[in-house]
Amino acid sequence: MTIAIGIGEHRIGGPEERTWVMHGLGSCIGLVIADPLTHISGAAHILLPTRVAGGPDVPARYADEAVPFLVEGMARLGARRRGLVAVMAGGARMFELGHLVDVGTRNAHAVRRALDRAGISLVAEDVGGRRGRTLWWEPWAGTAYISQVGGERRELTPREHRFIRAGLRS
């Protein structure tokens, strides 16, 4: 059984958690941040790069707020603030907007900036293009899987960043 994380939603937990899934990642970004030592993870289904004036107070909805929000929640469960790693997927150009920079590209850039500010290594990504995606996260293994619409499910996490292997190195 999987736990779905919808637009603007988040999840934080440890290795006892079941698989998390973020469906319908068009211009949205599915972000997972993980601590390979404690196996505590956080995920957000990000809609926009930043909150617009009067936007709802839902930190997981915005790239610039989601990263520190997840890190804080993970730290409360015992995650370290250093040594965190991240994977992300989505950021597709779903609609033709003429000369304007598309939301998917802006979302991906905003997530990268937020991760960089927090000192978190982005170890894998599958972003851009024109197809929606689904991102799965296995909190007990530190493994992410991705599929694009019409494509096969494949592993996204590099082998050296899986928890099982990272735990052996720690």
- The whole-angstrom separation of Cα 45 and Cα 23 is 9
109 is catalytic: no
Q: Catalytic: which of 5, 25, 28, 74? A: 28
Mean predicted lDDT score pLDDT of the chain = 90
Of the given ranges (17-31, 90-104, 106-120), which has the lowest mean pLDDT? 90-104
Q: Please identify, in words, the CATH class of the domain defined by 2-169.
A: alpha beta
pLDDT, tens digit, 9 for 90 and up, residues 10-33: 999 999 999 999 999 999 999 999
Q: What is the pTM of this model?
A: 0.90
Residue 136, CA distances (Å) to 5, 28, 100, 147 in order: 10, 15, 31, 9
Residue 162, CA distances (Å) to 35, 89, 142 in order: 10, 17, 5
Give the domain ranges of the chain: 2-169
